[in-house]
Every structure is written in C-alpha cells, then in structure tokens.
Amino acid sequence: MSNQTILEVKNLKVSFDVASEGDMPWTKAKKLQAVNNISFSLNAGETLGVVGESGCGKSTLARAIVKMVPAESGEVVWLGQDLLELSNSETRPYRKQIQMIFQDPLASLNPRMNIGEIIAEPLRTHYPKTPESDVQARVSDVMDKVGLHDNLMNRYPHEFSGGQCQRIGIARALILKPKLVICDEPVSALDVSIQAQVVNLLMDLQEEMDLALIFIAHDLSVVKHISTKIMVLYLGNMVELANSDDIYKSPSHPYTQALISAVPIPDPSVEKNKDLILIEGDLPSPINPPSGCVFRTRCQKAQEVCANEMPEFKSKGQDHSVACHFHD
Amino acid sequence: MIVANKGKIKTMAENLSESGAGRSLWKDARIRFMQNKAATISLFILLSIVLFSFIGPYFAVWSYEQIDWNAMGSAARVGMPSIESGHFFGTDDLGRDLYSRVIQGTQISLMVGVLGATVAVIVGTLYGATSGYLGGKTDQIMMRIVDILMSIPYMFVLILLLVVFGRSIGMLFIGIGLLSWLDMSRIVRGQTLNLKNKEFIEAARVTGVSDFKIITRHIVPNLLGIVAVYATLLVPGIILAESFISFLGLGVQEPSTSWGALIKEGAGTISYDTEWQLLFPLAFFVVSLFCFYFIGDGLRDALDPKER
C-alpha cells in the first residue's frame, strides 16, 4: 500500500437555499448548511468510512467531492489539483479517476440499456475510439472481476436481483480503473447476506486494484469491517475522525459513544448487560442549528460553555481528532 | 469465501443465461400489447386501411380527377355505388369516382396525420427534454415561450397562415407542425423532471457523460413509452384539425382531396338522396380514428412497466 495522499478535502462547506412554503419570490431564502467545514485526507488504498444518521450530510459530502452539488467554499484537492476551481469541461479528465457507487442498485441502472452497454458507458465516454472488440473484452473482464458471467451482457437490469445490480454498478465504476471509488450507502438496500458479499467483493477489489474508498453507511458494523479511518458526522459537522480500531476502542465524543453502544452484539448475555447510551430527542433542523456545539441539545454532558462556544475540532492524540469540550 | 462465492455465482449465471439474449422491456411490451384484443384488432384494421390506400388504385376503373359525364349532375340516379359502372363507392356531384377519391383522401389525411405527429413528437420531445433536464432559468424561459405560443388560438393562426400564404399541403404541414408540438413538450418536460433525479442519470453525470448524450441516451429512451402513447393520440388530433380546415374549404386543393374535404362535399349534398357521398369517407374517417385511439390505449397499458 503506498502512502501517497490522493485526496485532500479542506474546510469544505455546502449550503442549500431553502424557500419555505408561501414565500414571495423576493423573500430571501433560508440557508441550510448541509456540510460544514469538513477536512480530511485520504491515501491511496485506504478506506474512509463516513457514518452519521439520516440527513447529517453524508451523501451531500460525497456529491460535493464529485461536484454534483456546488460547494460554497473550501477545496477538494485531487493529486495536487483543486477540483472546485476547474470548469465542467476541465473536470472531465479527472472524472475517470473518481467513480461512484449508489445506494439503490436498480435505480442506478438505466432500464432501457443492457448490462454490456451500461458497464461500457464510462469507457466509451472517455475513450470513444476504443475498438468494439476491446470494449467487449474489457467489459467481460470487469464482469468476471465482480463475479458476473459475461453471457449476461445482453440482459436488462430488471432481470437481476438487488445484489447482482449492485455488482453491475461496481463493474461500471471499476472499468476505467479509477483511483478512488465513492460508495454512497452501497449496501443499505441489500439483505444482510448480500451485504457481506458486496462488502467483501469491494475489499478484494480494493486490494487487487489499490483503490481508495470513501464508504458511506449508517451501519457501523459494516463500516468497521471495511474502513481504515472513520469519520463521524453530525448535522453536517465532523464530530470525530480516527482510525477504525481507535474509534471502536476509545470513542471520545458523546455522540460516537452513543452510536457505538447502539451496535448490537451477537451474544444475548453480553447484549443484555451492556449499558446502552440513549440519545433523546430528534435531529435539530439544519436550517436552524443550535448555537455553539451542534450536538448539545441531545448531549448528556452539555454545559453552558457548549451553548456559547463551538468546540474546536482538534487532535487528541495519534490520528484521532474530536470536536467536544468535554471529550474523554 | 469469495472464491467459493464466485464459483457459485458463475454456475448460477450459466443456468440463468440458457435463454441467451435477455427479454427487453420492448419485447415485454409487445407481448402485453398483443394480449390486448381491441388494440391488436385496431392495429390490423388500420394496417388494412393503409394497405388498401396503396393497393386500391390498381382496381380502380376511374381516376380520382376523371369526370364521368353520364353521372355529372345526376349522381342521385346514375352515380350510385355499383360494380357494373366501375364506381364502387358511387360518384360525387361532379361525376368523379368516389372510390378513387376516398383512396386519395385516405392517403393525404393519413400522411398529414402521421408526418405532422412525427414532426411534433421529435421537436416536442427534444425541446421538452432539454428544458426539463437543464432546469433553472433556461427551463423557465423555454416554458414561457411555450406558454405564449399556447395562448394564441391554434385554429386562428392556421387559418390566417393558409389565407395569407395561399392554400397548399406544405403550408398545412408547417402550420400544424408549428403548433402541435407544444403539448408534447409540456408532457415530456414533466417526465424529464421526474427522471433527472434518478440515480442512473447521476451515475452518468459522475462518469462525465456530456449533457447532450445524457439527454439522447438516457432521458429520451426512457420517455419513449409516454411519447409513443401521446403520438398515437396526436395523429387523430391532427387528422381532425386537417379535416376541419378542409371542411372550411381551406385545406387541400382540388382535385386533390382529403377525408375532411370529402365529408364536407358529402354533407352538402345529403338532401339530394346521395347519402353514399357522405357515408363512405365518413366510415373510413371514423374507423381510423377509433383504431388510433384503441392503439393508443393499448400502448399505454403495454408500456406501463407496473403491468408486468
């Protein structure tokens, strides 16, 4: 595994304008801060797991990195080049190095195209002059890699199961031999047994092709299995970033602690006796985030300083950073 | 473990792919369409009418512009439908053979309908898909243009065009084509808005496929279902418009004719006991329109994936 940093995200912010119902056209839209000040770096061959509850900005972060949603400020540095500065046509050459896998396996495949066409599309887009026989060879090669037989090439997406569709999505993402694959909840729509297959497949391919992955999920056990680093998001803010083992052994932020305590343990006697930290209340509205620390409304440790001052995201030790005034 | 899995999946895949090529959605749709009896029969009847309009002239004794001087002026007595005289459908008031004229009218009416609908479908689909996919200000401007064009009375513009630039089939095409794509573009835009947030569009964008390719390769093929249905409903609409224009006396020029023109002539002479002059063209007209509507209905059911 090389230790070259391929992706560096610096202070990335994304916000959306939200017009509430009944607003006049001239009313100023409210700002929804979906992603706030996120920074991290990713080395070749590494996996960054991103966890957080629904609506915390995981997918928006992924889409901002590939420029599907415009970023408000910050930098996305890919191999020394800030992608956010580039125009759409200038970004195109970089697109073959960063690919994406989606949550809903069937919805991410065009129902009117057959599997061969779907998988070959990135290749035909970036190398339009590739002879047809080479395209076919590459497609069957990558289909073989993800465990699909190449005589399925003429079939249509609706003839496949969810797990197979996800494999097709992975094949499409891998045909250009990218350096980074962003997986946006690739397994949350699948059965547990299929989840394991897909995650293991991703890990095998990662090793084989020296891929870096950004793996978004809300299932902590899956993320732990695949990630080298884990980032925990809450309401668009980073609350903790650490090595995968570290974060499980010594979670520092009260939110991370609560998340980890909620992971079920497949042993009834242990499960019964473990102390579960329950988070009360709902996720506050991102249009109107709480002052100071965003988590304070639901935090057991919250004190006055939490309402007044936003905790700095600072290093607490070896590769372990946390944003809390009272972290352990 | 994954190695074992791969083997398993491979055997499963081999079992699955015995049938060779996959069943496309179109193939499924065709099977469902065939199961709809009314639509299949309508399609058959319509094809027969089209065929008749091409083969029919070989059996005609009289051409469509030739005047039978015997029947002229006394159509009620001499010009009735008969096989002996060669006027299978009778003659019109001027003694011209109605059989040939109905065939001529069928050709023109169907051509106007099909070509007009084709133009409307192509323009409307591309316009609507572009507008819906690009969104934002472009969408606003493009749709306001449609609104403005829609607010102008259709028939009025068409009549004005024909009066100002003279009566001709070409002008009729331009006039009908110019205005009938508006509804199409509206429908297509709505569907596109629905489609463009689907993940497969996003996947294509992440890959770096250009906007034009996304519209032609990903959006338009997924619109075809609704477009096909709307097109079959548009054809009778255009035939009706052309018939109305011809009925007003502004459509095709003599000696050429169309269903609308024939029906007008027939309706004008109905009090002289020459009801065949109205009934033959009217029958073709009504049957064809019914066929188009039934086919449209069948297509709508067949192309709805939920029916699977």
State the count of interchain CB pairs (< 8 A) between A and B.
103
**Separation CA A109–CA A152 (nearest Å):** 15
Please tell me if residue A193 touches chain B, with a CB cutoff of 8 Å.
no
Distance CA A31, CA A16 (A): 6
Chain B touched by A141 (CB under 8 Å) = no
Asked if B44 has any chain A CB less than 8 Å from its own CB, the reply is no
Q: Is the pLDDT of residue B106 over 50?
A: yes
The ipTM, to two decimals, is 0.83
Say how far apart CA A226 and CA A244 lie, in whole Å: 9
Domains contained in chain A, CATH given? 5-97+178-322 (3.40.50.300)
Contact B258, B240 (CB under 8 A): no
The SS3 assignment for A234 reads strand
Q: A277-283 — which CB contacts under 8 Å span 24+ positions?
A: A279/A255, A283/A53, A283/A54, A283/A55, A283/A56, A283/A235
Q: Is B25 on the interface with A (CB under 8 A)?
A: yes
Residue B34 CA: distances (Å) to CA of A1, A18, B31, B44: 59, 49, 5, 11
Per-residue pLDDT in tens (0 to 9) along chain A, 328 residues = 457 888 999 889 888 888 776 767 777 778 888 888 888 889 888 899 999 888 888 889 998 998 888 888 888 898 888 888 888 888 888 888 899 998 888 888 988 888 898 999 999 989 888 898 999 999 999 998 888 888 888 888 888 888 899 999 999 998 988 999 999 888 888 888 888 888 888 898 898 888 899 999 878 888 888 898 999 988 888 888 988 888 888 888 888 888 888 888 878 888 787 777 777 777 788 888 888 888 888 888 888 888 888 888 888 777 788 888 887 6
Q: Rounded to whole angstroms, how far apart are CA atoms A76 and A60?
A: 14
Nearest CA in chain B to A125: B209
CA distance linking residue A252 with residue A322, whole number of Å: 7
pTM for the whole thing? Answer: 0.77
Contact B209 A121 (CB under 8 A): yes
How many other C-beta atoms lie within 10 A of the C-beta of residue B266? 21
Q: Chain B residue with minimal CA distance to A203?
A: B2
Instruction: Tell me if A154 and B14 make a contact (CB, 8 A cut-off).
Output: no
Looking at CA atoms only, how far is residue B216 from chain A in angstroms? 12
How far does A90 lie from chain B, in Å, by closest CA? 11
Tell me which chain A residues have a C-beta less than 8 angstroms from the C-beta of B224. 112
Query: Does B206 sit within 8 Å of A125, measured CB to CB?
Result: no
User: Where along chain B do its domains lie?
Assistant: 104-307
CA distance A253 to chain B (A): 34
CB contact B84 to A (< 8 Å): no
For residue B287, what pLDDT band results from cuts at 50, 70 and 90? very high
What residue type is A58 in one-letter code? Answer: K
The pLDDT score that the predictor gives to residue B144 is: 92
Residue B170's CB is within 10 A of a number of other CB atoms, namely 9
Whether domain B104-307 has CATH 3.30.420.40: no
Is A148–B204 a contact, with Cβ atoms under 8 angstroms apart?
A: no
